[in-house]
Amino acid sequence: MSDLEVCPFDAPLGAEIRGVDISKPLTPSAVETIRTAWHDHLVLLFRDQDMSDAQHFAFTAQFGTLDYPPELLLAIAAGEVRVEDEPMAINVISNVIENGKPIGVLGNGEAFWHSDSTFVEIPPAASLLRSLEVPDSGGDTYFMNMYQALETLPDELRQAIKGKSSKHDAAYSSSGKRRPQFTELDPSKSTGPIHPLERTHPDTGRKSLYLGRRLGSYIVGLPLDESEDLLDRIWDHITEGDFIWAQQWRVGDLVWWDNRCAMHRRDAFDPNVRRTMHRTQLAGDRPY
């Protein structure tokens, strides 16, 4: 008999998975229970997990194909590196500086609402973030249920986005930093993949709102000012809504989210306190 338990949060999304040591290979039935919980609850929390990066990769690989960290996905998309030459790399998210160099990305600032790496044609299906060092306060991560964001959209906005798609350019990181290789400032003229605003989840068949991030976004076919206005109204709706669950980190937490139907953001924290996370990702799928 397995001790594995799925304990949903009293929140619009999220569940804690208890009674399983994810550093070890899972039974086929545990894989299926966790996969179903992922589809049902969008965000899963595993606490008190003591694992290496190799075990983190091995856990992830039981659910699909591993994907590369954002900067490598961009380099692959730009043809700067070849997939077959690239070893899989852990994505380090950290404010720690060692020998004068950051050991990871994002620093200590806020990360704005986003889905991961939607600036490539096939964005990751999931991200799995594991905490190695955390501050006593600050640095919480928030998750938004994008099924509910769509379902609660006022009729007028739902009609306005019907059949429309948006461009997801890579000009800005989730901390709002501009990537220097992207020089076009007008999002209607920049390059980037086009994704539908309303996307159908390939496993659940449910529709969700798919926005990527606000900065650099553009609704294809509209004059820029109309696109900005419509995007502002959509973002006002979702950020005022109540579709959110917040994770307060402890060392040894692993949080896994569905990147296709949940967005996330992170609070800023004290720059003098260390916060380090390691992240793996599961490759995405088409069609929507």
Name the residues that contact ligand SIN, by CB under 6 A. Answer: 93, 106, 111, 116, 141, 174, 264, 266, 277
* Minimum CB distance to ligand SIN smaller for 165 or for 247: 247
What stretch of H or E contains 231? helix 224-240
* Minimum CB distance to ligand SIN smaller for 94 or for 165: 94
Q: How far is the CB of 79 from ligand SIN (least distance, A)?
A: 25
Q: How far is the CB of 249 from ligand SIN (least distance, A)?
A: 7
Q: How far is the CB of 64 from ligand SIN (least distance, A)?
A: 19
Q: How far is the CB of 197 from ligand SIN (least distance, A)?
A: 21
- What DSSP assignment string belongs to 60-95? HHTTS-EE--HHHHHHHHTTSS-GGGPPP--EEEE-
Report the C-alpha gap between 106 and 104 in whole angstroms.
7
* Minimum CB distance to ligand SIN smaller for 118 or for 141: 141
Tell which residue, 194, 241, 183, has the closest CA to residue 217. 194
* Minimum CB distance to ligand SIN smaller for 111 or for 209: 111
The number of beta carbons lying within 10 Å of the beta carbon of residue 103 is: 14
31: three-class secondary structure by DSSP = helix
* Minimum CB distance to ligand SIN smaller for 41 or for 264: 264
Residue keyed to tokens 């399983």: 20
Angle at 214 between CA 250 and CA 73, to 5 degrees: 70
- What DSSP assignment string belongs to 195-229? EESEEE-TTT--EEE----STTEEETTS-HHHHHH
Tell which residue, 264, 271, 270, has the closest CA to residue 114. 264
Q: How far is the CB of 256 from ligand SIN (least distance, A)?
A: 12
Q: How far is the CB of 141 from ligand SIN (least distance, A)?
A: 4
Fill in the DSSP letter of residue 181: T
* Minimum CB distance to ligand SIN smaller for 219 or for 264: 264
> Contact at 8 Å (CB) between 116 and 123?
yes
Angular region, 42: left φ>0, alpha ψ -120 to 50, beta rest: left
> Contact at 8 Å (CB) between 139 and 109?
no
Q: How far is the CB of 70 from ligand SIN (least distance, A)?
A: 9
* Minimum CB distance to ligand SIN smaller for 142 or for 188: 142
* Minimum CB distance to ligand SIN smaller for 9 or for 151: 9
Q: How far is the CB of 277 from ligand SIN (least distance, A)?
A: 5
